[in-house]
Amino acid sequence: MTMTTPLDDLQAHVQPHVRAALQRAGLDAWMPEGDGKWSLPLQFLPDGGWVELMRLAPGTALTLHRHHGEVHGLNLQGSRRLDDGRVIGPGDYVFEPDGNVDSWQAIGDEVLVLHVVVRGDVDYVARDGTVQRRITTADRIADYRAFCAARGLLPRLAPEHP
């Protein structure tokens, strides 16, 4: 899936929120995170964690991962199927406690847009529990700064010298 503009495939009620988030973050596009996955940072939390809009193309999966802090997720558009079989649709909220291990997939024909608050680090793990990759707040900030630098943009949410 390719995007020509940051608002491609977004429902009318989601577009103003994305426009405002782009402006607040000083961005002109969603940050790519891999095949079918993009993010738009809203805030980096001083005690560890981040708040973002997450965008997934239909069929894109988040592989098995463990949270080192609680997570709050609100579907704004599209649907996802959790690994326990639950289908989460627009307006549905999911709470994940510290230590939760899960995976899920964007389902249906519509782009998934999710507002998520992540406290602490996230480990992507193998089925045996071996950590394959850890993502920290510092990693998310570095990704944001690098994306801004590559596009000649000012990283408003995480300036080098506040």
* pLDDT tens-place string over residues 47-58: 999 999 999 999
Which pLDDT score, from 0 to 100, does residue 159 have?
72
Residue 78 tokens, joined: 């599209």
Q: Could you tell me if residue 133 is inside a domain? A: yes
Q: Could you tell me if residue 22 is inside a domain? A: yes
Which pLDDT score, from 0 to 100, does residue 143 have?
96
Q: Which of 39, 9, 37, 42 is nearest to 24 (CA)?
A: 42
Residue 125 tokens, joined: 């793990």
pTM of the model: 0.92
Parent domain of 52: 15-151
CA 108 to each of CA 11, 56, 60, 61: distance values in angstroms, whole numbers, following the listed order: 15, 11, 11, 12
Residue 124 contacts residue 131 (beta carbons within 8 Å): yes
pLDDT (mean) for 110-138: 94
Instruction: Give the chain's mean pLDDT.
Output: 93
Contacts of 75 (CB under 8 A, 6+ apart): 88, 89, 90, 91, 92, 93, 112, 113, 114
Q: Could you tell me if residue 57 is inside a domain? A: yes
CATH of the domain at 62: 2.60.120.10
Q: Which of 60, 53, 16 is nearest to 37 (CA)?
A: 60
Give 144-160 pLDDT, tens digit per residue. 999 999 999 999 998 76
Which pLDDT score, from 0 to 100, does residue 161 have?
52
End-to-end CA separation in angstroms for the chain: 36
Give 78-120 pLDDT, tens digit per residue. 999 999 999 999 999 999 999 999 999 999 999 999 999 999 9
Among residues of the chain, what percentage have pLDDT more than 90? 91
Q: How many domains does the structure of the chain reveal?
A: 1
Residue 61 contacts residue 112 (beta carbons within 8 Å): no
Q: Could you tell me if residue 157 is inside a domain? A: no
Which pLDDT score, from 0 to 100, does residue 1 have?
62
Query: Phi first, then psi: what are they for 105, rounded to 5°?
Result: -140, 140
pLDDT (mean) for 14-21: 94
Q: Which of 103, 98, 23, 42 is nearest to 68 (CA)?
A: 98
Q: Could you tell me if residue 1 is inside a domain? A: no
Q: Could you tell me if residue 10 is inside a domain? A: no
Q: Could you tell me if residue 156 is inside a domain? A: no
Which pLDDT score, from 0 to 100, does residue 25 have?
93
Q: Could you tell me if residue 2 is inside a domain? A: no
